[in-house]
Amino acid sequence: MSGRHAVVCKSPVSGTWNDASSGGFFGPEPKKAGYDAVFVSGISEKPVHLSIHDGRAELRDASGLWGLDAKETQKALEVESGERKVRAAVIGPAGERLSLISCVMNDGHRAAGRGGSGAVMGSKQLKAIAAVGTGTVKVAHPTRVREINTALRVVTRGSHSADSFGTYARYRTRRSGCARCPVGCGAEYEVKDGPWPIGATARPEYETLGAFGVLLGNTNQETPWSATSCATAPVWTPSLRARPSPGRSSATRTRSSTGKRRAGWS
């Protein structure tokens, strides 16, 4: 599970410890850049993002990124860094506005979603953590690690559950997976026909299919695809889509009725 990482904070939802896990390709990158963990405390005076590159870390201005959604932010960081494979954990407008259901996103659709961790980053005006690492991770017993990895690949590739989402398999155009994971449970799909064609998309997670399917008593197999597309589409009303002014004026608008910043915990 080397492709996973955890976002840990004091939850603005519960007021207690919170950790949210996400897969994809961000997790290994800070390690390859020389960092086992990243600790963030305090509140920035303006939107910033943390750039990590092979042992160097610096805060950079993110005023131009404020207001972008997760996918737009990822693309902008690639352009800024000149690195096509920069890995980033980012927030979108929901996190900027301190929504208690906001997530920390990576790889476009991967989410550290529990406990309102996106709101914590938003309260600090931390738009993203972007990492590029060219190092390697040394292990004590490399031969034994390779043996274990080989055994795991044999087991997982022979597993029906690891390779099938039932009738949804007919929409698959390409398999994908998290960094260094032998399961490869992700996939790119394309839905071109039926009552709700949505074009190219990532395969919904099983929780999403369950929530829009059997938990609603819904037996239609195509409906969850359309519902997922609607739920993740970057669409806001004009007033919400307008970017808040960065800096102190933005901080003023994110104060609660008590005058204290919400979700601004170390």
- What tens-digit pLDDT sequence spans the chain (266 residues)? 578 999 999 999 999 999 999 999 999 999 999 999 999 999 999 999 999 999 999 999 999 999 999 999 999 999 999 988 899 999 999 999 999 999 999 998 889 999 999 999 999 999 999 999 999 988 999 999 999 888 888 877 655 544 445 556 777 888 888 888 877 777 788 878 777 787 777 777 777 788 888 899 988 877 887 777 776 655 443 333 334 444 433 333 333 333 334 343 33
Give the domains, in start order, of the chain with CATH numbers. Answer: 1-160+236-259 (3.60.9.10), 161-232 (no CATH)
- Interatomic CA distance for residues 227 and 191, integer angstroms: 13
Q: What is the pLDDT of residue 231?
A: 65
Task: Report the predicted TM-score, pTM, of the whole model to 2 decimal places.
Answer: 0.76
Summarize pLDDT for 94-139 with one digit per residue, the tens.
999 999 999 999 998 889 999 999 999 999 999 999 999 999 988 9
- Interatomic CA distance for residues 128 and 133, integer angstroms: 16
Please say whether the dihedral angle defined by the alpha carbons of residues 243, 249, 251 and 256, taken in this order, is positive or negative: negative
